């Protein structure tokens, strides 16, 4: 198998991001004005790379983020955000924030089959990601860009880089930041960590 360079990009800002609400897999938000600006900064930043393939989740905010550089990304629901169940879109009340914090803390303690309000667990997300990632690897593409979501990125980076899933919060992110990986046909190595330099021009 040929070596690959894989860029994993978080989508641009939405109004729910701005207001501190959890979106998750069940809310199909569009980018706001800031998110559209970020998407154009991403286009400028990657202008020197000839990507062979673009992937997005099945959600609008990732497709809109890629729209300045690709009109036809391959949409894969395996790259969707985690489902936060009945917390998706909820007002960021102290009670809602505490539920979120408690869940994250339990994941850090290794309770990775735990989910919120009928949503998904990190293990469930990892399993659907593995199926989607087989498609990414089993072709001749050399330069690949995947646009996805914050929590899903954390989970993906853990298992690609052989970290336990409860380390996922060791991979910070912001809207339109990205990670880059090299793949040698057997293992992944981290090349770029939460890259944000391209966003400082916006």
Domains and CATH numbers, the chain: 4-201 (3.40.50.1240)
Question: Residue 183 and residue 185: Cα distance in Å, rounded?
Answer: 6
pLDDT value at position 1?
A: 56
Helix (H, G, I), strand (E, B) or coil at 202: coil
pLDDT value at position 58?
A: 98
Task: Name which of 29, 145, 21, 125 is nearest 80 in CA terms.
Answer: 125
- Are 17 and 23 contacting, i.e. CB atoms less than 8 angstroms apart? yes
Question: Residue 51 and residue 144: Cα distance in Å, rounded?
Answer: 6
pLDDT for 89-112, tens place per residue? Answer: 888 889 888 988 999 999 999 999
Question: Residue 104 and residue 87: Cα distance in Å, rounded?
Answer: 14
pLDDT value at position 202?
A: 59
pLDDT for 138-156, tens place per residue? Answer: 988 999 999 999 999 999 9
Asked whether the predicted pLDDT for residue 120 surpasses 70, the reply is yes
| Burial 47-76, CB ≥16 within 10 A → b, else e | eeeeeebbbbbebbbbbbbbbebbeebeeb
Question: Residue 138 and residue 124: Cα distance in Å, rounded?
Answer: 22
pTM for the whole thing? 0.95
- Are 171 and 157 contacting, i.e. CB atoms less than 8 angstroms apart? yes
- Are 15 and 29 contacting, i.e. CB atoms less than 8 angstroms apart? yes
End-to-end distance of the chain based on CA atoms, in angstroms?
38
Pair of tokens at residue 121: 């667990």
Pair of tokens at residue 173: 């992110």
Which segments within 109-157 are labelled E, that is strand?
A: 143-148
């Amino acid at each position: 198998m040929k070596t690959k360079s894989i860029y994993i990009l978080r989508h641009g800002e939405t109004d729910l991001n701005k207001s501190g609400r959890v979106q998750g897999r069940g809310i199909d938000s569009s980018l706001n004005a800031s998110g559209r600006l970020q998407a154009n900064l991403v286009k400028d930043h990657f202008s020197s790379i000839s990507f062979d393939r673009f992937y997005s989740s099945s959600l609008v905010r990732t497709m809109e983020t890629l729209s300045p550089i690709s009109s036809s990304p391959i949409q894969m629901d395996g790259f969707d955000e985690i489902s936060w169940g009945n917390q998706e879109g909820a007002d960021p009340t102290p009670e809602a924030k505490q539920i979120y914090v408690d869940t994250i803390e339990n994941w850090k303690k290794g309770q990775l089959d735990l989910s919120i309000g009928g949503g998904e667990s990190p293990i469930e997300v990892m399993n659907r990601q593995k199926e989607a990632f087989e498609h990414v690897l089993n072709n001749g593409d050399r330069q690949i860009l995947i646009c996805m979501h914050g929590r899903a990125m954390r989970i993906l980076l853990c298992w690609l880089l052989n970290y336990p899933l409860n380390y996922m919060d060791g991979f910070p992110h912001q809207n339109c930041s990205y990670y880059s990986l090299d793949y040698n046909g057997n293992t992944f190595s981290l090349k770029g960590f939460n890259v944000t330099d391209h966003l400082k021009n916006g």
